[in-house]
Every structure is written in C-alpha cells, then in structure tokens.
Amino acid sequence: MFLKTGILLAASLATQLYAQSTFSPARPPAIPLAVRGPYLSTWLEVGSDGGDGGYLAGEWATFWTGQITAWTGIIRVDGLNYVFMGAPNVAASKVNQTAFEYTSTRSTFTQNVNMQVGLVVEFLSPVLPNKEKRQSLPFSYMNVEVFSMDGQTHSVELYTDVSGEWLSGTYHAPMHQLCIDRKQATETMSSSGTTKRLPVAIQQRQMRLRSATTLQM
C-alpha cells in the first residue's frame, strides 16, 4: 500500500512539474514576439514547419520570411541555469511552460523552474492610433516578472540577448552588439513573492552574428 501510494504521489508531482502548456484563446500558427512593421517582425513558429508547438524555450524566433532572428533568455536559480527562451548552445535545462495567452498587442508566457520559481514573460508591441509620434517609434517590449512559488528565498539572475541576425541577413557581417553586464543584473528574490525588476547595464562591443548565443554566465 505504501509503495503504491508513493508511486502515485511521484507520478502526480511529475505531472505538475512537466504539465503541458495551455493556450488561450487558442493555439495560433505563429506567436508574435516583436512586431512593429515589415522590418521589425519577429515571431515564434508554432506549426509543423519548424515550430515546437508554441513553447518559448527550445526554438529560435524567426523573421516573418522564416530567417532566424535569435533571441535568448536564461534564468539562473540558486546557481543552476535554465533556458526560458530560444535554443542557445549552453548546458542548461529548459523551464516548464504551463500557459500561454495572447491579445492583439501582447503575448504572455507563464513558466516555472521546478515549481520553485515562477516566470511571466510578456511581449508587448503597442498600437497607439491616437498618438502618432509614439506609434512611429519602432519599439517592442519584453517584460519578465519573477516570483517565488515555494515560499523560499532564491538567488535569481536573468540574461537575455538578441543576435546580429536582427540587423543583417548576411551571417558573417561585422556588427556592434549591446551586451548585458550580469554583475549589475543580480537580484535576490524574497519569499514574499514580490516581483523584482532586475537592473541591467549595457556596453557596446564588436561581434559577429549570433556569437552571443554561445555564452557563459
């Protein structure tokens, strides 16, 4: 009886940790991440032509023509790395995505790391028809909220970058890339579950396309 109960409990925990994502209002053929015009138009493929079913981690984002526009997201929890976006060449597990929702301007992914730390990753491409100046700016936004799920205190670091493929379709073209200084992007999250906005510092250096996707934290 004890053995059977233990097996059922283990199966229940595994189902909670790695449950499939829900999609609301439906699973779209492609998910907009940064869409502001014909030259800023990055999507996550969902269908059979290269997509992974609408999960943010494990697949590169693409331009509307299908060319990769790599966008990486990595979270470090208590010293261990997890990928929450993209498919970087790093030794890290993927987070568990549990939900996806979208509106006409927002795409929101809900994820977690072993049911210990939760993430809400939101992509906003605003439409402001009554504010012509702001509407003319080719800006799209990514917001990441992090919170404790188990009531414990965790050390959390976030890393995100984009590749030079956002600037040029020529793979070996030189570029100047803005890079996050992780030393100034570290925050300890309290057990209260309060969202922490992580400050980042940027610096400029010359790199080749997608070189930052093979990164060290």
Tokens 């269908």 correspond to: 47
Q: Bin 74: left if φ > 0, else alpha if -120 < ψ < 50, else beta.
A: beta
Cα distances (Å, whole numbers) of residue 11 to 17, 111, 149, 192: 10, 20, 20, 29
DSSP state of 2: H
Nearest to 89 by CA among 113, 111, 58, 54: 58
Which helix (H) or strand (E) segment holds residue 143: the answer is: strand 141-148
pLDDT at 9: 41
Q: Which amino acid is at 196?
A: K
The span from the CA of 111 to the CA of 109, in Å, is: 6
pTM (2 d.p.): 0.73
pLDDT at 163: 83
pLDDT at 185: 46
Rounded Cα gap, residues 57 and 88, in angstroms:
9
Who's near 127: CB < 8 A, 6+ residues apart? 104, 105, 135
pLDDT for position 112: 96
In this prediction, residue 7 carries a pLDDT of 41
pLDDT tens string, the chain, 217 residues long: the values are 444 444 444 444 444 455 689 999 988 889 999 998 888 899 999 875 445 589 999 999 999 888 899 999 999 999 999 999 999 988 899 999 999 999 989 999 999 999 999 999 999 988 878 888 877 888 889 999 999 999 999 999 999 988 888 877 676 767 665 555 544 444 444 444 444 444 333 333 333 344 333 333 3
